Chain A
Amino acid sequence: GMPVEQNPPALSLYEGADSGLRCNFSTTMKSVQWFQQNHRGRLITLFYLAQGTKENGRLKSTFNSKERYSTLHIKDAQLEDSGTYFCAAEAGGNNKLTFGQGTVLSVIP
């Protein structure tokens, strides 16, 4: 299967709602990053995790290397959260990132 499987492919949320995205890995990964891509294509790094959980405002991400998954949780969704979210993982110290297929998030007023 795909080395990085991201779900769901698309997600619609009403403003104020909470939801989560998930990436499953076919092999043990050393680290994971989460990115948001806006409608112009600009990619912003949200999180880098080598383990555990990080929070930043309304966003929280968890990475469990042993169980081979990572999650991104969005709380109190806002219109500006709309965009495409990607996870990307690195299997070893080889400078190679493998991206998930992305989740297109639409926040509805």
Chain B
Amino acid sequence: AQTIHQWPVAEIKAVGSPLSLGCTIKGKSSPNLYWYWQATGGTLQQLFYSITVGQVESVVQLNLSASRPKDDQFILSTEKLLLSHSGFYLCAWGLGGRSAETLYFGSGTRLTVL
């Protein structure tokens, strides 16, 4: 069975500090991988997706970057956090290919920027 693990569960960070959020998928080779951001009480906004190792497409940047260093790993990062980065970050995997078909989400990382 496939599992998706996100880390950390929660972070409190200062404005201007760096950030790295991680996501690992086990039990599925070559999945499509996605990062989403959700403001408190808001809807989800797609940030990035990746179809294969080393390839990342940006949908909405928000001064963040993403990388896929391994087939099963997706990293979201920034060198300088902004207050507006606060929110809930969700990683998801999909069945692969050119469509975002049937997504499976991790449990999320709650980020507070002070």
A residues adjacent to B (C-beta < 8 A)? 30-31, 33, 35, 40-45, 48, 86, 88, 90, 93-102
Contacts and interface: CB of A to CB of B under 8 A. Distances in A.
A105 B33 CA distance: 29
Q: Per DSSP, are chain A's interface residues mostly helix, strand or loop, or mixed? A: strand
Chain B: number of interface residues, binned into ranges? 20 to 34
Given A88-B44, A99-B45, A100-B43, A41 B101 contact: no
A86 B43 contact: yes
A28 to B, nearest CB: 15
Contacts of B43: 86, 99-102
A101 B39 CA distance: 11
B83 interface: no
A33 B36 CA distance: 15
Nearest to B90: A43
A106 B88 CA distance: 22
Contacts of A95: 32, 34, 49, 51, 57, 94, 98-100
Interface of B: 32, 34, 38, 42-46, 49, 51, 57, 59, 88, 90, 92, 94, 97-105, 107-108, 110
Contact of B99 (A35, A40, A45, A90): A90
Nearest 6 A-B pairs (CB), nearest first?
Answer: A93-B98, A43-B105, A48-B102, A99-B44, A99-B43, A41-B108
Given A43-B105, A45-B105, A95-B57, 14 more contacts: A30-B99, A31-B101, A33-B100, A33-B102, A41-B90, A43-B44, A44-B105, A95-B32, A95-B94, A95-B99, A96-B49, A99-B45, A99-B46, A101-B43
